[in-house]
Amino acid sequence: MTGVSMARRASRAGVASWLPKLMLAAALAACSHNPPPAPQPGTPAANVVVSVQNQNLNDVDVFANINGVPQRLGTVTSQSTNSFEIKWDQIGPAGRLAIVVSPIGSPGAYRSGTLAIQAGAQVSVMVAPVLSNSTTQVS
């Protein structure tokens, strides 16, 4: 065997030993990622979207209670879904609001309680056939 052949064989053996480690490092780097930055206040991406799925037999009016002030978002008819957008500037840095759902022509209301939210949050409200079984989720 010549000296050149032995050098090539040694070079291939060296590559074979570090190549799997390099591939593993590249795969791990590709899997890890930083979370996206928070949306900037004042931009549409920072607005909060409230989606309401109404499974109740009554149409409902939806309100957002922001800093103690109720603001009507709109109406969701029976057995349908609607979404409403709240500008983050209305909510402010405290990032707290409550959702109130009031059936039209029926007594009572569903209140979510105070929700801690961030800019760009998605609030999902499911209005149940029995109003007290309604739920709210923030994502």
Taken in order 137, 103, 99, 72, the sign of the CA dihedral is: positive
Quote the pLDDT of residue 39.
72
Q: What is the pLDDT of residue 46?
A: 86
pLDDT of residue 27: 66
Q: What is the pLDDT of residue 16?
A: 60
Gyration radius from the chain CA atoms? 27
What are the 10-residue block averages of pLDDT along the chain, 139 residues in total? 54 61 67 65 83 97 94 98 95 92 94 94 97 97
Structure token pair of residue 39: 């949306």
